[in-house]
């Protein structure tokens, strides 16, 4: 029988099927962080049960950690308490714990791949919706709620109905200044934020085949923003070269066995999807969002569409534009920018900092802009320094912060003030996401860089002479 990549990985992990109910799915790797795990551990305690496979769970602190002075005690008592709980729980149950200050600490979806915890063909969950990032390796990876975190700790399984399957093909060659973030924002703008609800997506076509692992992670990361449970890309040479030799990757004989398994991970030629969509790479330009959900995005040179031309209620659309202080028909070019955020599990990897730096090189940060450059992990931070990017950034008036989720969800002090505008490389522009009243425009690191040096929304193609 011909199967999709998704079927192959899913079916291999089904412990039991329940008649008229969900599948019991075995989870290979479980990632936890401070925010969504404490109540799960309380649950374990009150039931008096242990963690079944502590070696399959990995803990890192990221969501509410500060991004400056990480060597000092965390000032906010609530955050400090949550971080302490993660440490205590990890120690008590024998889970590897990468807390603040630990060399391996960083955003959960950035460090997982960096240390080889993420593997092709694995099932991976985490109490964070952007767990879909790990799908870039051909893993089935998705976000879960705290009750499910407790389930995985207790039994290494969760219960899920098998989602439907969608394939999204993007073929051709991406234009000048068009990055993986733009590809994802473009797809979401076409599908809307609920267009893939109930589906698991496979991305296929030469655009993804030619993409680096970092780019694939950016794309899979954003799958959740169109409602999909997750997204995945078939592993190939690029994937295997990335995974090989990392700390938690299989070694020796185990590697040979794993490699044989990875090679089986592709959709059969005649496999059928419940839905299939195809886009042209040449239709995609640098994107920016103008509203309060990631589906409200458009090519940066376009004007904000009229309510009549978008799906959904006009009242909701107007509420959204009202919040942003924008109007139908406005051009985004030239809009005010107060903050620029480069970071998050969407765009906090080395390639993103390379792209940002390539544009700001030889220019200077605009005086009206506060820029937060936050690497996704210590590895990214170290690489920025080693590659000499930090010198270029410093020269251009930028400083680098320490790793963490930061202004992606503003649980720490990195909050955009009410009414201020931020161009952000993160994943959500919901009302208040980056601080109460904050107004977020999602974009790529290149668009962020163009805003950072000009102080207004600017098409990066007008500033770059060379292709990145």
Site string for another protein, 412-431 (x = CB under 8 A): ------x---------x-xx
Among another protein, ligand SF4, none, partner that 330 touches (CB below 5 to 8 angstroms by kind): none
Question: Binding to ligand SF4 by residue 63, rule CB under 6 A?
Answer: yes
Nearer to ligand SF4, 149 or 332 (CB): 149
Q: Among residues 7, 26, 303, 361, which is the contact residue for another protein, using CB under 8 A?
A: 26
Nearer to another protein, 94 or 436 (CB): 436
Pairwise CA distance, residues 276 & 166, whole Å: 5
Nearer to ligand SF4, 130 or 415 (CB): 130
In 10 A of CB 418, how many CB atoms?
Answer: 11
- CA R_g for the chain: 21
Pairwise CA distance, residues 239 & 464, whole Å: 30
Question: Binding to another protein by residue 410, rule CB under 8 A?
Answer: yes
Measured from the CB of residue 415, what is the shortest distance to another protein in angstroms?
Answer: 8
Measured from the CB of residue 107, what is the shortest distance to ligand SF4 in angstroms?
Answer: 5
Measured from the CB of residue 403, what is the shortest distance to ligand SF4 in angstroms?
Answer: 10
Nearer to ligand SF4, 30 or 335 (CB): 30
Among another protein, ligand SF4, none, partner that 20 touches (CB below 5 to 8 angstroms by kind): another protein
Among ligand SF4, another protein, none, partner that 261 touches (CB below 5 to 8 angstroms by kind): another protein
User: Interaction with another protein in 160-189: which residues (CB under 8 A)?
Assistant: 160-161, 163
Question: Binding to another protein by residue 310, rule CB under 8 A?
Answer: no
Q: Is 377 exposed, middle or buried (0-12, 13-18, 19+ CB in 10 A)?
A: buried
CA 126, 128, 131 angle in degrees (round to 5)?
65
Q: Which two tokens stand for residue 300?
A: 């940066």
Site string for ligand SF4, 311-350 (x = CB under 6 A): ---------------------------------xx-----
Contact 187, 174 (CB under 8 A): no
Question: Binding to another protein by residue 122, rule CB under 8 A?
Answer: yes
User: Interaction with another protein in 341-380: which residues (CB under 8 A)?
Assistant: none
**How far is the CA of 373 from the CAs of 44, 70, 73, 403, in angstroms?**
38, 15, 22, 9
Question: Binding to ligand SF4 by residue 408, rule CB under 6 A?
Answer: yes
DSSP string, 236-302: -HHHHHHHTT-TTS--HHHHHHHHHHHTT-S--TT---SEEEEEEGGG---EEE-SSSTTSEEETTS
Q: Among residues 315, 362, 367, 466, which is the contact residue for another protein, using CB under 8 A?
A: 315
Q: Which two tokens stand for residue 72?
A: 């000092």
- In sequence order, which residues have a C-beta less than 8 Å from that of residue 251 and are 6 or more positions away? none
Residue 141: alpha-carbon gap to chain centroid? 12
Local structure of 230: helix, strand or coil = strand
Question: Binding to ligand SF4 by residue 409, rule CB under 6 A?
Answer: yes
Question: Binding to ligand SF4 by residue 405, rule CB under 6 A?
Answer: yes
Interhelix angle 180-191/213-221, nearest 10 degrees = 20
Q: Among residues 99, 116, 175, 198, which is the contact residue for another protein, using CB under 8 A?
A: 198
User: Interaction with ligand SF4 in 85-114: which residues (CB under 6 A)?
Assistant: 107-109
- In sequence order, which residues have a C-beta less than 8 Å from that of residue 85 and are 6 or more positions away? 34, 37, 38, 41
Question: Binding to another protein by residue 159, rule CB under 8 A?
Answer: yes
Among another protein, ligand SF4, none, partner that 96 touches (CB below 5 to 8 angstroms by kind): none
Measured from the CB of residue 53, what is the shortest distance to ligand SF4 in angstroms?
Answer: 23
Q: Among residues 39, 277, 333, 456, which is the contact residue for another protein, using CB under 8 A?
A: 39
Question: Binding to another protein by residue 22, rule CB under 8 A?
Answer: yes
User: Interaction with another protein in 69-88: which residues (CB under 8 A)?
Assistant: 76, 78-79, 81-82, 85
Total residues at the site for another protein (CB under 8 A)? 82
Q: Among residues 94, 101, 245, 313, which is the contact residue for another protein, using CB under 8 A?
A: 313
Contact 362, 396 (CB under 8 A): yes
Question: Binding to another protein by residue 190, rule CB under 8 A?
Answer: no
Q: Which two tokens stand for residue 112?
A: 């997982």
Pairwise CA distance, residues 25 & 290, whole Å: 39
Given its phi and psi angles, is residue 17 left (phi above 0), alpha (psi -120 to 50 degrees) or beta?
A: beta
DSSP string, 354-365: HHHHHHHTTS--
Local structure of 25: helix, strand or coil = strand
Question: Binding to another protein by residue 12, rule CB under 8 A?
Answer: yes
Q: Which two tokens stand for residue 141?
A: 């990876």
Question: Binding to another protein by residue 35, rule CB under 8 A?
Answer: yes
Contact positions vs ligand SF4 (CB under 6 A): 62-63, 107-109, 128, 130, 344-345, 405, 408-409, 426-427
């Amino acid at each position: 029988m011909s199967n999709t990549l998704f079927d192959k990985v899913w079916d291999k992990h089904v412990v039991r099927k329940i008649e008229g109910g969900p599948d019991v799915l075995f989870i290979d790797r479980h990632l936890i962080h401070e925010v969504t795990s404490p109540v799960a551990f309380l649950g374990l305690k009150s039931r008096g049960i242990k963690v079944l496979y502590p070696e399959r769970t990995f803990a890192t602190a990221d969501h509410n950690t500060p991004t400056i002075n990480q060597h000092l005690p965390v000032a906010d008592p609530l955050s400090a308490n949550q971080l302490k709980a993660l440490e205590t729980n990890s120690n008590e149950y024998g889970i590897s714990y990468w807390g603040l200050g630990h060399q391996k600490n960083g955003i959960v979806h950035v460090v997982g791949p960096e240390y080889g915890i993420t593997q092709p063909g694995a099932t991976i969950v985490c109490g964070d919706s952007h767990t879909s990032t790990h799908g870039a390796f051909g893993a089935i990876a998705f976000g879960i709620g705290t009750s499910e975190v407790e389930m995985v700790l207790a039994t290494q399984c969760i219960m899920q109905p098998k989602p439907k399957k969608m394939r999204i093909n993007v073929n051709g060659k991406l234009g000048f200044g068009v990055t993986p973030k733009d590809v994802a924002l473009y797809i979401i703008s076409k599908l809307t934020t609920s267009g893939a609800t109930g589906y698991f997506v496979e991305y296929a076509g030469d655009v993804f085949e030619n993409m680096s692992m970092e780019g694939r992670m950016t794309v899979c990361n954003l799958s959740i923003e169109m409602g999909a449970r997750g997204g995945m890309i078939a592993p190939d040479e690029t994937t295997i070269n990335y995974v090989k030799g990392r700390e938690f990757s299989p070694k020796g004989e185990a590697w040979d066995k794993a490699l044989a398994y990875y090679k089986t991970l592709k959709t059969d030629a005649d496999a059928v999807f419940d839905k299939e969509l195809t886009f042209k790479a040449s239709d995609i330009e640098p994107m920016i969002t103008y509203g309060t959900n990631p589906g409200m995005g458009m090519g940066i040179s376009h004007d904000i569409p009229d309510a009549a031309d978008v799906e959904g209620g006009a009242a909701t659309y107007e509420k959204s534009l009202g919040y942003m202080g924008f109007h139908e028909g406005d051009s985004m070019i030239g809009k005010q920018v107060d903050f620029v955020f480069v970071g998050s599990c969407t765009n906090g990897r080395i390639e993103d900092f390379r792209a940002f730096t390539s544009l700001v090189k030889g220019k200077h940060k605009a005086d009206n802009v506060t820029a937060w450059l936050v690497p996704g992990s210590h590895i990214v931070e170290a690489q920025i320094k080693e590659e000499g990017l930090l010198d270029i950034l410093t020269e251009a008036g930028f400083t680098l912060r320490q790793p963490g989720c930061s202004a992606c969800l503003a649980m720490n002090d990195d909050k955009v003030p009410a009414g201020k505008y931020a161009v952000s490389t993160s994943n959500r522009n919901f009302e208040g996401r980056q601080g109460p009243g904050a107004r977020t425009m999602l974009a790529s690191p290149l668009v962020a860089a163009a805003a950072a040096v000009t102080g207004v929304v600017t098409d990066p193609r007008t500033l770059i002479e060379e292709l990145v």
